[in-house]
Amino acid sequence: MFIKPKILILIVLMFLGCGLTVQAGYYTSGILTSANLLSGRTVTSIDFFAYTVTSIPGGTGLRAQFSQDGSSWSGSYNLSAGAHIINLSPLNWSGPNFYYKIIFTSDGSATPVLDEIAVSYTNDDIAPTVNAFAVNGTSYPSVANINSAFPITWSASDAGGWGINHYEIWRAQDSGGAPGSWINLYPNAFSGQTDNPGPGIWWYGLHVIDNAGNCITEAGTHCGGVSSDSFDVRIVRGPIKAVYNTAPNKPVKVGDGETWDHCSFQDQSVPTFRWTYTDPNSDPQASYEIRIDNNSGFPANPDPTEFVDAGGAATSYAPSHRLEEWSDWMDWNTNYWWIVRVKDDQGDWSSWSDPDKFESPRHAYPWSGFTWLPEEPNQKEVVVFTPDETGFFYLWAVTLGEGEYADGTGPTNEEPHISFLTSDNRVKLRTTDSDAYSCESQEQEISAQLPLPEYKETPPIIWLKEALAGLAEIFQ
């Protein structure tokens, strides 16, 4: 606590008689009203009024009254000769306003003499301190993620000794990554006050004002009263950035909602489900959950009969990575429904999509895989092709190179015979069943090598034969 020096105002009163015929010619009464003695000062308490009276002759008197507005007066204190103090603390006055009024009386023959007065007040020159500040439980410098009404909490202390008067919550909308224009959102706030600003990026600050009018912000900067104090530099508690996030929109199926792959896996049909992702805050998708069931009435939590899966940022799903489970779970010629929900990278989930109906095929599609022998033929050598599954309609095609059907077979035979005239060749097969379900294989590469050159044994030439015979006769 810091006590300001006394303000000394010397006032000498020489009153001349007024309204009465008196020997000395003094006025019989008078009133002196002061100006505001504390204007512009920071005052936390007005403590006492001091005065010095040189003399109060017989037949005269002095009284004092006090005010904070110059019109409403408190007390009526009789002054006596000498130096004295009037205790003003019971009035509980503070602030930069103080007036006094001196009332004198005289019998006209003499007058009292008031030499000086002083008013003593206490000045709080230490601003409060913000000890903690949080938005939705998040403290500076972290970013608060919000999506509904949330609390703003804090704690503060005042070492100046005169206590905290009130708190203010300030808010600004983001402007290029920094606070824009600040507004005093709650001029008389309390810790735990809630706010719900709506989607966007917001900044929150706190002002703490003590009873002396000293103000400090959450950042430790002075915002009124003293411009500095012995507690500078304070710990920075803000401002705190808050991202008000809105959950993604409910997904909507794309097109028919699903497409099918009937031919990549033998005896399997695998659907691919597709949906839209949109987010009011332009947050990217972080994950999804999908549920598939033969009942459109999905409960809040998946039941054991559902096929459930999850993934990341994709907006499509196919159960091909769980093929065996899918094969065991899905029945042919059955109605199913699927729903999906998505989550943004702020952790907020959308609502579930509307159930979308689809129907599984009546049965598996015909498999179009095949083999051939010999596996490494020579050119013009007959190659026999055999489908993996029999009993369907077939259509064979040489898609690269040149091949001729042999042995009376053709492209619609179950097991065609083909001889290749080129080294690099490709063949594919389309199979179709009686329900017009059809699959086409991948192209298979078949290399046909040139045949080895033919050779035969040739007898020695005649002259060499005769020469050898001559040599034989010599050595006989």
Which of 359, 380, 399 is where one domain is finished? Answer: 359
**Same domain, yes or no: 229 and 279:** no
Q: How far apart are the first and last CA of the chain?
A: 149
- Asked if residue 63 is part of any domain, the answer here is yes
- Asked if residue 181 is part of any domain, the answer here is yes
Length of the chain: 476
Are the C-beta atoms of 206 and 170 separated by less than 8 Å? yes
Which of 97, 123, 149 is where one domain is finished? Answer: 123
**Same domain, yes or no: 308 and 410:** no
- Asked if residue 165 is part of any domain, the answer here is yes
**Same domain, yes or no: 119 and 196:** no
**Same domain, yes or no: 95 and 117:** yes
**Same domain, yes or no: 114 and 154:** no
**Same domain, yes or no: 113 and 177:** no
Tens digit of each residue's pLDDT (9 = 90 or more) over 99-139: 999 999 988 888 899 999 999 988 888 999 999 999 999 99
CATH number at residue 376: 2.60.40.10
Tokens at 455, concatenated: 């050779």
Write out the H or E segment, with its range, that includes residue 465. helix 462-474
- Asked if residue 433 is part of any domain, the answer here is yes
Q: Does residue 43 come out as left (phi exceeding 0), alpha (psi in the -120 to 50 range) or beta?
A: beta
**Same domain, yes or no: 230 and 198:** yes
Alpha helices in 309-457 (DSSP H): 323-329
Tens digit of each residue's pLDDT (9 = 90 or more) over 39-71: 888 787 899 999 999 999 999 999 999 999 999
Say which DSSP state 18 is in.
-
- Asked if residue 365 is part of any domain, the answer here is no
Low-confidence spans in the chain with pLDDT less than 50: 1-24
Burial class (CB in 10 A: 0-12, 13-18, 19+), 282: exposed
Q: Which residues of 222-246 are buried (b: 16+ CB within 10 A; e: fewer)?
A: bbbbbeebeeeebeebbbbbbbbbb
So what's the pLDDT on residue 433?
97
- Asked if residue 458 is part of any domain, the answer here is no
Other Cβ atoms within 10 Å of 194 Cβ, number: 11
- Asked if residue 167 is part of any domain, the answer here is yes
Which of 244, 277, 295 is where one domain is finished? Answer: 244
The residues facing 322 across adjacent strands are none
Backbone angles phi, psi at 91, to 5 degrees: -75, -20
So what's the pLDDT on residue 268?
94
Strand blocks (E) in 68-192: 74-78, 82-87, 99-105, 113-123, 129-135, 138-139, 144-146, 150-157, 164-175, 178-189
Q: 451, 377, 390: which is closest to 417 by C-alpha? A: 377
Range of the domain at 316: 253-359
So what's the pLDDT on residue 40?
81
CATH number at residue 38: 2.60.120
Residue with tokens 């600040």: 182
**Same domain, yes or no: 16 and 68:** yes
Q: The whole model's pTM is what? A: 0.57
**Same domain, yes or no: 99 and 172:** no
**Same domain, yes or no: 10 and 95:** yes
So what's the pLDDT on residue 14?
39
- Asked if residue 473 is part of any domain, the answer here is no
**Same domain, yes or no: 397 and 284:** no
Are the C-beta atoms of 276 and 243 separated by less than 8 Å? no
| Structural domain count, the chain | 4
Report CA-CA distances (Å) from 132 to 43, 279, 323, 339: 27, 34, 55, 45
**Same domain, yes or no: 305 and 330:** yes
Residue with tokens 């005065």: 51
Tokens at 393, concatenated: 């309609």
* Chain-centroid distance, C-alpha 50: 62
